[in-house]
Amino acid sequence: MDALLGGPSWSEIAAWLPDFWAGFVLSVELTVFSLLIGLPLGLAFALGVKAPSSALRIPAFLLVELGRGAPALVLLQFMYFGLPSAGMPLSAFAAATVALSWSTGAYSSEIIRAGLDSVAAGQREACLALGLNRRDAYRFVLLPQGLRVATPALMGLAILLFQGTSLCFAISLPEMISRAYAIGASTFHYFTALAIVGLFFAAVCIPAAFLVSWVERRAGTGSRNRG
């Protein structure tokens, strides 16, 4: 369609940029808030699933499986359209934060749990030999080592979360995709508008992916050195 219409001029594209920048900032804010809530939630889920008490283990397991089993788009629409019908209305930003935090918590819990399981059994035996209780063993020995192993995967999850904010156009949150559709609807330059959104995402995600690879290599080097 853009080719048929001759494409937008540079002055038109420049006029769009403040809108795209506002959508980009909103996506970043949503990512940050979802990580600030979702990662501690993921740690709580991971510890809950590993808890000896079934009163903690079963609810944690169910929340994790629901968060992982339901697509993020379904969670978004449930929070935004479903909760109001039960008398709990949320703004679009709040609904998106709750939904993405739950999804982040569910996925990060599995990453953290895998990190904890990777800690050598000898470390656990050493905790028992030193007379540490379960809480102190996790706090001082197991969590620091497990989280170090899990960090690269958690960083990768953060990149996916940032990309996933594009789903929020479905609940009318004015992030970049929503703004691209609005611009495309008024100018018919959908190709150019969506290409600009892609460049915004690429400008963040490609360097972030290289950073994750570097951290992963460093973590691997550190593990070999300790061994």
Q: At what angle do helices 92-117 and 54-69 cross, to 10 degrees?
A: 120
**Angle value at C-alpha 19, between 17 and 20, nearest 5 degrees:** 65
Task: Say what the pLDDT of residue 127 is.
Answer: 77
- Total domains in the chain come to 1
C-alpha pair distances (Å), 52 with each of 116, 129, 137, 195: 15, 20, 15, 51
46 CB neighbour count, 10 Å cutoff: 26
Residue 28: which of 181, 194, 175 has the closest Cα? 175
pLDDT at 221: 53
- Which residue intervals of 86-189 are DSSP H helices? 92-117, 121-129, 134-137, 143-164, 176-187
Q: In the prediction, which pLDDT does 120 show?
A: 80
pLDDT tens digit string along 154-192?
A: 999 999 999 999 999 999 899 999 999 999 999 999 999
Q: Nearest-CA neighbor of 205 among 160, 144, 147, 152?
A: 160
Query: Which one is predicted more confidently, 190 or 221?
Result: 190
* Phi, then psi, of 25 in degrees rounded to 5: -60, -40
Compute the distance between CA of residue 49 and CA of residue 57 in angstroms, rounded to an integer.
4
Q: What is the CATH number of the domain that holds 97?
A: 1.10.3720.10
Residue-wise pLDDT tens digits, 56-81: 999 999 999 999 999 999 999 999 99
- Domain of residue 67, residue span: 2-226
Q: How far is the C-alpha of 85 from the C-alpha of 94, rounded, in Å?
A: 16
How confident is residue 220, by pLDDT bands cut at 50, 70 and 90? low
pTM: 0.89
**Mean pLDDT for the stretch of residues 85-110:** 95
Residue 223: per-residue pLDDT? 53
